[in-house]
């Protein structure tokens, strides 16, 4: 019953949400007939403008979203971090719950998929003097800039903890700056973009990839 209600809702709301694009497409033959009353040069200019202006606005929106994402990434790259060369390969990787994360040998394509049967994770009673701390839901040192998080893209943080002092090793976070999808579709809420959703399996894979890129090691997460 619930699926039926949602189906009806989408059928009713879709024409309203996408009405700007529907009206634009509906007007194409009328614009063509209007342009036909002018000289070939003027008609070509009218039709070109009718197509080019929306495409230009779409392009500006796409570039703006990409530039915002690149600017934020540049700020993350500028954060002071511990050099990877200072990390011993045998340093244990722990979670905030004092659980040692199991590791797997990398293969040529990267990290192997997680096993069907996961290893029993070891919880420490006493923390070692030096270890790596993985926090897949950390605070954001740069702030969120008033934007939501891109699904599955952080904030992930890996820190070196030594005698109680924490130093940043790697940080990953992507604010949600949605790029408009192609072909351009305009809605009542702006340019249409893919939904900001992701499943748990992909989130786990992103965390594994984050640690691999930061340390070259493959964790079982």
pLDDT score, position 63 = 92
Average pLDDT over all residues of the chain: 80
DSSP-derived pairing of the beta strands 156-162 and 190-191: unpaired
Residue 27 CB coordination number (10 Å): 12
pLDDT at 60 over 70: yes
pLDDT tens-digit readout, 130-181: 888 888 877 776 655 556 667 667 788 888 888 878 888 888 888 777 888 8
Residue 10 binned pLDDT confidence (cut-offs 50, 70, 90): low
pLDDT score, position 190 = 84
pLDDT at 218 over 60: yes
Contact 98, 121 (CB under 8 A): no
pLDDT at 213 over 80: yes
Q: Which residues are CB-contacts of 145 (< 8 A; sequence separation ≥ 6)? A: 72, 175
Distance (Å, rounded) from C-alpha 72 to C-alpha 217? 26
Q: Which residues are CB-contacts of 40 (< 8 A; sequence separation ≥ 6)? A: none
């Amino acid at each position: 019953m619930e699926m039926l209600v949602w189906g009806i809702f989408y059928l009713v709301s879709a024409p309203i949400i996408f009405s700007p694009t529907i009206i634009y497409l509906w007007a194409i033959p009328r614009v063509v007939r209007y342009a036909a009353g002018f000289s070939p040069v003027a008609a070509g200019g009218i039709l070109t403008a009718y197509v080019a202006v929306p495409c230009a606005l779409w392009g500006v929106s796409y570039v703006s979203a990409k530039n915002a994402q690149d600017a934020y990434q540049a700020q993350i790259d500028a954060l002071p971090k511990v050099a990877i060369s200072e990390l011993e390969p045998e340093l244990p990787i722990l979670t905030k719950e004092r659980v040692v994360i199991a590791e797997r040998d990398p293969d040529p394509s990267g990290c192997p998929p997680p096993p069907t049967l996961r290893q029993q994770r070891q919880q420490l009673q006493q923390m070692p003097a030096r270890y790596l701390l993985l926090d897949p839901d950390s605070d954001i040192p740069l702030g969120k800039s008033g934007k939501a998080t891109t699904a599955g893209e952080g904030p992930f943080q890996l820190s070196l903890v030594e005698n109680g002092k924490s130093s940043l090793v790697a940080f990953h976070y992507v604010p949600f700056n949605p790029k408009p999808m192609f072909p351009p579709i305009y809605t009542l809420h702006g340019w249409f973009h893919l939904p900001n959703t992701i499943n748990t399996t992909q989130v786990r894979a992103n965390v594994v990839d984050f640690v691999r890129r930061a340390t070259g090691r493959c964790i079982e997460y």
